A and B are shown apart, each in its own frame.
Chain A
């Protein structure tokens, strides 16, 4: 089970959807992969201490989930 998959319905979970109108690349919870620009990291899971439990996004253009929100977080809200 992946971190964002817990207690989630299939549509809420991150999943592949080729040509989706809500790709991870435009989501405020997504932050770039440290190395590969076509990959990313989902930061929607927040920990009790205020940290982030990330999940790797293997394709930021063709993955989406039910928590998609357009935008960008401030650096203060990341780790």
Chain B
């Protein structure tokens, strides 16, 4: 039997909570999620059943068949050797062409969208040109590319040319050691190869690559004419040389991509005409063949064109040219014209709405099967999932006109029906958003997907306008363009469209860990609990700090050190990316790069600097406890606290209880909240905002956690909030620590709403009560919560809606709970693929129950 929420008395009446679907009464709480998957068609049901998931946990792949392929390494190396002496940007284009001309093609049964990025769908490519350490790590695993000797030879060849080798000489070896261990800050991209990009899909779908080639050719003719003008002026005319090289490289890359797509078309035709016995599938293959011949060469005319063209571009930008995490796009607006052509007007590839939902499900399964050759650090920190694949829907168009459409609904319906951990969705919540679409958002959340994660639309629009002011070429987004944004990865809005999008990760996204930084601030910069080394600058003995402000100042210095170091690491990498890691294909599909003849990793028209403080709330709660018990009440001395921490509280339990019971974040507490607000706004935000990055803009905090709240917890000793050494930290950028928000859901909102200054966004994880959400009042309560959240000007919120009973049942019998999905932090995961301890941290999160006072505050229409 399913649990039903208890009746309550509200506004002088008794309110009951019967289930919205009475049939669910017979479904045990422990098995609810195994009854929610309803693929739209038999095809997507089959595709899901044979999907080759590539989830990782603790740095290892769950499926033992998954392994690294050697083909990409081999082909890019052949090209690199053969093209020595040519301009680097031309070499990059020729490398891509050699890969695309010679790579194995993958065509699988039932697929409507085709294409893969390795020689086998169980495999993923590696990138020796980026981080030699990341590839060396792969060579030491069970999923090493084969033959291993050849892979080692390739790696040895690349080591001196790699981005990592180019960047390392510009850092003190001690700083490198500190960065690489990922205890006080995230490791540098040049040692991991981690990356993210927002491809300007719009130009490919609207123009087609043949037009982009024509544009580059016109630019070349013009440049050549400018070079030949007399009298010669070297101060102006020499500047055409790199532009000429880039436009030539664009043509090489685009022609290679067209040829590669058409190879797929020929393969589909060969299979259809020679091997396929099912007549319906044969027709599908012939249509796929036609599509791959036309796109991405030509503009898309229908929705099938758009999905296929987008997929090819995704593979190039995220996997073949180089690795990039993410699936950033404003997908509903991007596809809406083609949806309208195929479904509404039926002018090309005519189909029904349900057919589009099936296509979206196919795309979701392609992403689920996509393999990411990411480094160990990133195989550790998204436990139970593949990679960060996140797309955005909803929001507004210029003039704050609702951007929700039937395409938005198709994306949400598909996510609800097929139930995959990837891709995650972001919904931009705006008051003008249509209720029909918000209802679908609710259904995804209610069914426990953990997404859509919800972003405040107007905060995002204003943020695009704010960063535009810092544009180095005075060509940041216009007020209209500011409406077209999507999350770059989990949490940070970035512009989408034909130009000005983020092309490489120096623009934002890496992390520093305040809990660890506070730990070392209490120990004069020394890390006694993990690495046994000086981890930061010497900032004084804590026992000699006379005031609370002295401690905060020591923390600030530790924090300032890592802020500048990690952002310097990103910008040094970008310096070298501009010289040896150019992306001529991406440049060819960006209107700005095409117009100006500047490569996409170098051109930055719209700054979007951010960095991620992770474990903030452990540090903040610790500061509150120290201020209260040591400096205000003088109940303990700092030395007593340090002694207790070094003993991991052993022998000091009574003292630990007092620190544990000190006021905590998320309870609308008048003592804790002002201290923590100041910590967010003036220390974390204020210090970071002093930095100027590659793009000339400030860097703002995006507090979040991914799985780092667990990983960093393991590398952080006991903390003054009463936490034991090794225990997890807080699971969101601004979420209360697990189990410490004891005054209900609206007290959490009131606390979080206090933090406004110097922030980009902060992740708020909330866990909602399943019986309430599945009741007849579920949507009305949730919508009133969301409307209040929006009015409080909170940047983000996301929800777990999974019962403890079901999670515990899955721990006992994982094989029976393959469809149980949970929200970990900025991503959703298959619960049974998460390590046991990680599962326990999710179970330990406070499940919010709404009382009459909460409903009153939310003005819920019960």
Contact = CB atoms under 8 A, between A and B. Distances in A.
Contact of A79 (B60, B180, B529, B714): B714
Nearest to B840: A50
Contacts of B837: 49-52, 78-79
Interface of A: 1-3, 6, 31-37, 39, 41, 43, 45-56, 58, 75-79
Given A75-B62, A79-B714, A49 B727 contact: yes
A37 B137 contact: yes
Contact of A53 (B376, B726, B840): B726
B325 to A, nearest CB: 16
B725 A34 contact: no
B654 to A, nearest CB: 17
B700 to A, nearest CB: 26
Given A6-B648, A56-B183, A75-B835, 17 more contacts: A2-B529, A34-B377, A36-B133, A36-B181, A39-B181, A47-B724, A53-B648, A53-B714, A53-B726, A54-B726, A55-B532, A56-B181, A56-B531, A75-B60, A78-B835, A79-B711, A79-B713
A72 B714 CA distance: 19
B296 interface: no
A35 B529 contact: no
A34 B187 contact: yes
A24 to B, nearest CB: 14
A35 B835 contact: no
Contacts of A76: 57, 835-836
B190 to A, nearest CB: 10
6 contacts: A32-B137, A43-B714, A47-B725, A49-B724, A49-B728, A79-B728
B182 A52 contact: no
A3 B380 contact: no
Contacts of A58: 531
B192 interface: yes
A33 B183 CA distance: 11
Given A47-B725, A75-B57, A77-B836, A33 B62 contact: no
A48 B530 contact: no
A15 to B, nearest CB: 12
Contact of B58 (A33, A53, A75): A75
Contact of B714 (A32, A33, A51): A51
A22 B6 CA distance: 59
Given A2-B529, A53-B726, A54-B726, A33 B181 contact: yes
B526 to A, nearest CB: 11
A50 B844 CA distance: 12
A40 to B, nearest CB: 10
Given A1-B646, A35-B376, A79-B837, A51 B137 contact: no
A3 B60 contact: no
A76 B839 CA distance: 10
Interface string B696-727: 00000000000000110111010000001111
**Among the interface residues A50, A52, A53, A56, which one has the most CB atoms of the partner chain B within 10 A?**
A53
Contacts of B137: 32, 37
A39 B182 CA distance: 12
Nearest to B718: A53
B521 to A, nearest CB: 19
Question: Top 4 A-B pairs ranked by shortest CB distance?
Answer: A53-B726, A78-B58, A34-B377, A35-B180
A56 B533 CA distance: 10
A35 B728 contact: no
B18 interface: no
Contacts of A31: 58-59
Contacts of B532: 2, 55-56
Contacts of A78: 57-59, 835, 837
A50 B838 CA distance: 9
Interface in B541-583: none
B140 interface: yes
A62 to B, nearest CB: 16
B617 to A, nearest CB: 17
Interface of B: 57-60, 62, 133-134, 136-137, 140, 179-183, 187, 191-192, 375-377, 380, 528-532, 646, 648, 710-711, 713-715, 717, 724-728, 835-838, 840
Contacts of B711: 34, 79
A39 B528 CA distance: 18
Given A35-B182, A50-B836, A51-B710, A2 B528 contact: yes
B727 A51 contact: yes
A47 B726 contact: yes
B835 A79 contact: yes
A77 B726 contact: no
B377 A52 contact: no
Contacts of B728: 49, 51, 79
Contact of A35 (B140, B181, B531, B713): B181
Contacts of A36: 133, 180-181, 191
Contact of B59 (A32, A45, A51): A32
B177 to A, nearest CB: 8
A46 B836 CA distance: 13
B140 A32 contact: yes
B726 A34 contact: no
B57 A33 contact: no
Contacts of B529: 2-3, 53
Given A3-B530, A54-B726, A34 B380 contact: yes
Contacts of B179: 35
A47 B180 CA distance: 25
Contacts of A45: 725-726
A34 to B, nearest CB: 4
Contacts of B715: 54, 56
Contact of B140 (A37, A48, A55): A37
Nearest to A47: B726
Contacts of A52: 714, 726, 837
A33 to B, nearest CB: 7
A56 B192 CA distance: 18
B716 to A, nearest CB: 9
A51 B723 CA distance: 12
Given A34-B377, A50-B840, A39 B180 contact: yes
A1 B310 CA distance: 54
A10 to B, nearest CB: 15
B500 to A, nearest CB: 32
**Among the interface residues B725, B726, B836, which one has the most CB atoms of the partner chain A within 10 A?**
B726
A45 to B, nearest CB: 6
Contact of A34 (B140, B181, B727, B840): B181
